[in-house]
Chain A
């Protein structure tokens, strides 16, 4: 068990560019969550996958955001036409089972949009 990993750890981009982040959950964890954390705030839910199915999306997830989880393994989060307001830490968490098990978080990807 190597934990949840996220890449890249840091990303600096110019406004208007597209960026993609990757999350590798703990193996055999069928549930995967994306959160966004801005400075001085708690994480906010973005989207949820159960296996490969995206079952919930927050209103925070505008149409510039898209997430996938092909084959129910790793997940990607893409932001198109980035804006300065997208600057944040993007966190991924995974868990197993069907109840309220603990979510295990990755180290996050810090995005800075110039």
Chain B
């Protein structure tokens, strides 16, 4: 079956530190991969995505590369800010004939950035 595994949190960093949140997946077919972010009191927002192997998604200084050989989609940012404090979810969807494109999420990783 399809599944996503994220590194457990919480992750606590000082401002300007380097961030990595690990994400690995298992999927049948050719998934698209996503990172969603949930700020306190808000809904899920798409942060970035990649739809095929070796694609790199990027947004707001965050990056993630779709690695088929290691079935990974790790999230990175070179210098985090206090405003990046949120819960980050890795997710996949598989769109094949008969599939519906539903998202399969990891359990989420809480990031806390201290000034």
Contacts and interface: CB of A to CB of B under 8 A. Distances in A.
Interface string A71-114: 00000000000000000000101010001101111111000000
B55 to A, nearest CB: 12
Bin chain B's interface residue count: 20 to 34
B32 A100 contact: yes
B108 A40 contact: yes
B103 interface: yes
Interface of A: 31, 33, 35, 40-45, 48, 50, 55-56, 91, 93, 95, 99-100, 102-108
Given A33-B102, A91-B44, A103-B101, 11 more contacts: A55-B100, A91-B43, A93-B44, A95-B101, A99-B101, A100-B32, A100-B51, A102-B34, A103-B46, A106-B43, A107-B43
Interface of B: 4, 32, 34, 36, 42-46, 49, 51, 89, 91, 93, 95, 100-108
